[in-house]
Amino acid sequence: MLGRQAYEPVWQAMKAFTETRNEATVDELWFVEHDPVFTQGQAGKAEHVLKPGDIPVVQVDRGGQVTYHGPGQLVVYLLLDVKRSRKGPRAIVSGIEQAIINVLHTYGIESCARADAPGVYIQGAKIAALGLRFRKQRSYHGLSFNLDMDMEPFSRINPCGYEGLKVAQLADYVTAFNKQDVIDKLLRSLMDELGYDRIEITGQGLPRT
């Protein structure tokens, strides 16, 4: 867990990691919480950013449209060797979605993925967003999972490019939960769904698979 960090230094770090890794580099998962920021994907349309106000908008190199990151949201960056995993991009996205669905199920919450819009939904409300970049058969960027946060900034955008899309968070459905427990469950679920069987904790509590 990297704690709370500004967005851009972490983005630059994962790009550098991806560019300099080789066939022997161990895959890594970075768990982080960001200062308030809107990120706009490569194909993002400006009209989906309505009134950003004092929150910066950063153009990034992942897929998808605009989303919001802020305190109380768990972000996981998946730095994976796709060739070595023998899973294609679609299988990796589906595995990430299923991992989040599994975690929600442990809290008694039924959720689902949508074929037309990556992410995880509870009765039509989006609780987790996905946006990855695949470059030279390696992935970076990842997922954001809303836990207990100020949801107002989502009203300043069309989340993920969908006007009127409802956005949810875990605190809407669970009166009390432990954030570290959510992290532990999500890490284990990602390991299972993506086919990893060993983990090391290195650096600043950074999960390494």
> Over the stretch 146-186, which tens digit does the pLDDT of each residue have?
999 999 999 999 998 989 899 999 999 999 999 999 999 99
Per-residue pLDDT tens digits for 21-70 = 999 999 999 999 999 999 999 888 999 999 999 999 999 999 889 999 99
Q: Which residues are annotated as a binding site for substrate?
A: 62-69, 129-131, 142-144
Q: Report the alpha-carbon angle 107-80-208, nearest 5.
A: 65
CA distance 209 to 204: 15
Q: In which band, very low, low, confident or very high, does the pLDDT at 206 lie, cut at 50, 70 and 90?
A: very low
CA distance 43 to 108: 36
Q: In which band, very low, low, confident or very high, does the pLDDT at 85 lie, cut at 50, 70 and 90?
A: confident
Q: How far apart are the first and last CA of the chain?
A: 14
112 part of the active site: no
Give the predicted TM-score (pTM) of the model: 0.93
CA distance 185 to 103: 6
Q: Which residues are annotated as a binding site?
A: 62-69, 129-131, 142-144
Write down the catalytic residue from 37, 149, 157, 160.
160
Average pLDDT over all residues of the chain: 92
**CATH class, range 4-208:** alpha beta
pLDDT over 60 at 203, yes or no: no
Percent of the chain with pLDDT over 70: 95
Is the dihedral angle over the CA atoms 35, 173, 118, 133 positive or is it negative? positive
Distances (CA, A) of 152 to 33, 102, 140, 157, 202: 17, 27, 28, 10, 35
pLDDT over 90 at 119, yes or no: yes
